[in-house]
Amino acid sequence: MSVVIVDNGGANVASLRYALERLGTTALLSADPDCIRAASRVILPGVGAAADAMARLKRHGLDAVLPRLMQPVLGICLGMQLLHEHCEEGDVQGLGILPGVVRRLRLPACLPVPHMGWNQLAINTPHALLDGLGTGPHLYFVHSYALCPGSATIAQTDYGVPIAAVVSRANFHGVQFHPERSAAAGARLLANFLALEQ
Amino acid sequence: MLARRLIPCLDVRDGQVVKGVKFRDHVVVGAIETLAARYRDEGADELVFYDITASPSDRTVDCRWVERVARLLDIPFCVAGGIRSVAAAEAVLGAGAEKVSVNTPALTDPSLIDALAHRFGSQCVVVGIDSQTVVTAEATRYEVWQHTGDPSRARSTARSTLAWVREVQQRGAGEIVLNCMTNDGVRAGYDRAQLSAVRAVCAVPLIASGGAGTAAHFIDVFTQCAVDGALAAGVFHSGAIRLPALKRQLAQAGIPVRPCSL
């Protein structure tokens, strides 16, 4: 098993690496197309601004590489958002692998933004990625932009508005929360991802 | 439903966790990793590590313990104290912290908040505010203090807390921790009047700090002040309040919490 974390310039991928290490997996951080193509699992992390992250992916030619990958791919937070068609933040085109537009959270006035903290998943479609998570597991979210639940959404959460929490189509998967910071439930999801069939 | 967060705060001095009353008279309560693992296992939703020696003595945070803690913890944690530059924040986040919290350095140079938010995103940038209630014949107001980690240098900035809360949000703060100094360490309850006043002008997550003594204090602050989380130190370190029991009591009071295990 070779796991590559796509290096898209974020400052804190350390917590993701440590979470994988706790599962017995050493991940490589790389922006090299050959290295990413050769991996058995690819994780697209993301903290920061969508435009910066997309610009960096393009600089390395990864906007062409990532959509053609055949192995399981997991986008986390901004990485999940970038799998989609368009991001309102910075008005930037995403990778276009999944349908949908990422928009700024528009919430009832009493709810703070960012959506920050532990929120519950409602599972819409059973999937190997979600095995063993039980009913209404809590995962750690922190984001100000989000997708409405759509055709690729397999689990959603509610924060005044419904939010796509887990998306999946073919070999591409994405989570809006941070599994690496989500205690046992997050560790289970990462383990499920590593165990997915090719 | 979004759970209300319970956040043990570990004051770190010379590589150990210490506890003082009203920022004075610190005693050692244990090793960083031992306490971090204990709170993780007991169901803490997040931890804050506050390096109380860093800011007053112009040191930056020692990233070695940050990395050790990051390897141990599978919940978010924030590091506060001594972060006065983008480079210092980058080192702490690079070592595995989820967020950094700035207090005195942001008062000295408010543009630090803008710079941190621009580089790392608002979600990484917490502004800590130490605030004192000032009662005069005319009115009650709230004033921001700085250098509170060092009693010999602690002083009022004469800034209005409410004005500062508004400013830090405009500059890109993603969360505010309001430490109500009058109540800190005395276990008589959170300063609900002040927290409610700040909540009214705070559109980002707000964390209550200072004064927790009983489970009822947590129930009161969540039901009356609409805070997103409650931070405490002494009552957790001493074992006077245990997180699993506290979460059960909060749940019984109708407050959404994350259960302690999967």
Please count the structural domains in chain A: 1
**In angstroms, rounded to a whole number, what is the distance separating the alpha carbons of residues B156 and B160?**
10
- Does the beta carbon of B81 lie under 8 angstroms from any beta carbon of chain A? no
Q: Dihedrals φ, ψ of A43, to 5°?
A: -115, 125
Nearest-by-CA chain A residue for B205: A112
Residues 6 or more apart whose CB falls under 8 angstroms from that of B200 comprise: none
Q: State whether A117 and B45 contact (CB < 8 Å).
A: yes
Q: Which pLDDT score is estimated for A148?
A: 97
In percent, how much of chain A has pLDDT > 90?
A: 89
Residues 6 or more apart whose CB falls under 8 angstroms from that of A11 comprise: A47, A48, B90, B93, B94, B119, B120, B124
HEC-encoded secondary structure of B128-150? EEEEEEEECCCCEEEEEEECCCC
Q: State whether A120 and B1 contact (CB < 8 Å).
A: yes
**In angstroms, rounded to a whole number, what is the distance separating the alpha carbons of residues A180 and B201?**
32
Reply yes or no on whether B11 is catalytic: yes
Q: Which residues face A138 on adjacent strands?
A: A120
Over residues B20-40, the mean pLDDT reads 81
Closest CA to A196 of A178, A171, A174: A171
Q: Which pLDDT score is estimated for A90?
A: 87
Question: Can you give the residue range of the structural domain that contains A147?
Answer: 3-195
pTM score, two decimals?
A: 0.95
B151 pLDDT tier (thresholds 50, 70, 90):
confident
Query: What are the Cα distances from residue B262, in Å, to A63, A165, B163, B174, B209?
Result: 37, 18, 41, 28, 28
Write down how long chain B is: 262
Is it the case that residue A151 has pLDDT exceeding 50? Answer: yes
Q: How far is CA A133 from the centre of its chain?
A: 17
**Mean pLDDT of the residues in chain B:** 91
Q: Which residues of B touch A19 (CB under 8 A)?
A: 74
Write down how long chain A is: 198
Determine which of B7-21, B34-48, B73-87, B183-197 has the lowest per-residue pLDDT on average.
B7-21
Q: Which pLDDT score is estimated for B61?
A: 75
**In angstroms, rounded to a whole number, what is the distance separating the alpha carbons of residues A5 and A19?**
12
Nearest-by-CA chain A residue for B257: A118
pLDDT tens per residue across span B201-213: 999 999 999 999 9
Q: What count of Cα atoms within 13 Å lies in the side-chain half-sphere of residue B9?
A: 26
Residues in A lying within 8 Å of B, measured between beta carbons: 11-12, 14-15, 18-19, 21-22, 47-49, 110, 112-120, 133-134, 137-138, 140-144, 158-159, 178, 180-188
Cβ–Cβ under 8 Å, residues B201 and B167: no
Is it the case that residue A198 has pLDDT exceeding 50? Answer: yes
Q: Which of A77, A84, A87, A173 is catalytic?
A: A77
Q: State whether B123 and A120 contact (CB < 8 Å).
A: no
Q: Dihedrals φ, ψ of A131, to 5°?
A: -60, 140
- Does the beta carbon of B226 lie under 8 angstroms from any beta carbon of chain A? yes
**In angstroms, rounded to a whole number, what is the distance separating the alpha carbons of residues A60 and A6?**
11
Q: Which of A88, A173, A180, A197 is catalytic?
A: A180
**In angstroms, rounded to a whole number, what is the distance separating the alpha carbons of residues A35 and A31?**
8
Instruction: For this complex, say whether ipTM is above 0.90.
Output: yes
Q: Which residues of B touch A133 (CB under 8 A)?
A: 262
* SS3 at position B27: strand
**In angstroms, rounded to a whole number, what is the distance separating the alpha carbons of residues B14 and A137?**
38
Nearest-by-CA chain A residue for B5: A117
Q: Which pLDDT score is estimated for B262?
A: 44
- DSSP element (H, E) containing A59: helix A50-59
Q: Which pLDDT score is estimated for A27?
A: 96
Reply yes or no on whether A178 is catalytic: yes
Q: Which pLDDT score is estimated for A133?
A: 96
- Find the CATH number of the domain harbouring A72: 3.40.50.880
Is it the case that residue B248 has pLDDT exceeding 60? Answer: yes
Residues 6 or more apart whose CB falls under 8 angstroms from that of B73 comprise: B36, B40, B47
